[in-house]
Chain A
Amino acid sequence: MRPVFLAGSILAVSLAAAGALFAQDAPRLRGPEPFSLDAPAPPMPRPITNDVRVRRNYPDQPPLIPHNVEGYALDLNANQCMTCHARRFTEQSQAPMISVTHYQDRDGTTLGGLAPRRYACLACHVPQTEARPLVENTFRDMDELAEPEQRTGARGRR
């Protein structure tokens, strides 16, 4: 009886600890608790449309879209992004041209136009909204990590 009780209490304590750990994983991203409840949908956040270019968090990051893209055609028939961002339309649109890498296939061969694998713009480039993040973002810019070393003359000490 006694070892069973001990094992039971150990299990109960570990379950409670696991529960506390899960409880720290806030806020809850999966909807209401219990899941069978109906929760009102949060309001749609407004899109950011200020046309100000956003700094990339790392050099290879696909640039963010600083304008609304609601209703833009992007399917087999038409790619509306390219009506402004294609090389030959950038003069009239004053929009940034798509990167030269987008004119190359995966072997690095330059093609006559937009590479088919780059056609779905919104697969990598996304617009932003005014929604506040559900969890705090602890991302640190590469420069934040690199600069202190440079300032203290890390290279000279080595």
Chain B
Amino acid sequence: MSATEDTGAEKQAERQPGWIRRRWNAFRNLPLIRTALGPATTLSLAFLTLGGFFAGVVFWGGFNTVLEYTNRTEFCIGCHEMRANVFEELQGTIHAVNRSGVRAQCADCHVPHDWTHKMGRKMQASMEVWGHLFGTISTRELFLNHRRTMAEREWARMEANDSLQCRNCHTAEAMDLTKQNPRAAAAHERFLFTGERTCIQCHRGIAHRLPDMHGVPGWQ
């Protein structure tokens, strides 16, 4: 009984390819695709290679320009969620105003600087566009209710990459312990240099206000 059914199926397969195969063949036979996959008939090899090279330069440059455009603080605070909450809180902190006038932009702490990690973060950040469109934190109250979740995400990120964004500017090698006050020097010697902790585990809420800290390790 099963044998007859098997042969029937085989015959059908011989007669007509599967659905995916048929779709694929139809796609390959589209005029535009057939032209694209065929060899160049009128264009010279030099045009194709050099043109491809310059087109690549333009596309890559354009891509990176847009990427850097989205890394500017002005872009971040283009949404009212960022401007009215986190950007407002940043003002007056040591990362916004200080004696030497070096300022950290949003992306300096929230986007890794090297390309691979930056792309990963940018892809994750597309979720924030969703949040904006659906008003996840569209009011101050919603923002405050959601703050612990968002803070925990940032802490987890920082703990996972050993506070990479902090270390873009603050490196342990460049720290002069004699210039720090004894309390800070002792803490860095004990926890940072031994690798027991990473920056964010002690320095939470340095640029924005803290969420409800109940249950966060080191807090009570």
Residues of A at the B interface (CB closer than 8 Å) are 49-51, 67, 71, 73, 75-80, 82-83, 86, 88-89, 92-94, 113-114
Contacts and interface: CB of A to CB of B under 8 A. Distances in A.
Contacts of B213: 77-78
Contacts of B209: 73, 75, 77
A77 B220 CA distance: 10
13 contacts: A49-B181, A51-B182, A51-B183, A71-B93, A73-B210, A75-B210, A77-B209, A77-B212, A78-B205, A80-B205, A86-B220, A93-B187, A113-B220
Interface string B139-176: 00000000000000000000000000000000000000
Contact of A67 (B183, B190, B211, B219): B183
Q: B181, B183, B205, B209 — which one has the most chain A CB atoms within 10 A of its CB? A: B183
A89 B181 CA distance: 20
Interface string B164-201: 00000000000000000111001100110000000000
B79 interface: no
Contacts of A51: 181-183
B206 interface: yes
Describe A's contact surface by its main secondary structure: loop
A83 B218 contact: yes
Interface of B: 93-94, 181-183, 186-187, 190-191, 205-206, 209-213, 218-220
Contacts of B191: 92
* Complex A-B, nearest 9 residue pairs according to Cβ-Cβ distance, in ascending order: A78-B210, A78-B213, A77-B212, A73-B210, A51-B183, A77-B210, A49-B181, A73-B205, A83-B218
A73 B187 CA distance: 19
A73 to B, nearest CB: 5
Given A71-B206, A94-B186, 6 more contacts: A51-B181, A51-B183, A77-B211, A77-B213, A78-B211, A80-B205
Nearest to B183: A51
Contacts of B183: 51, 67
A112 B17 CA distance: 74
B94 A71 contact: yes
Contacts of B220: 79, 82, 86, 88, 113-114
A78 B93 contact: no
A57 B206 CA distance: 34
Contacts of B181: 49-51, 67
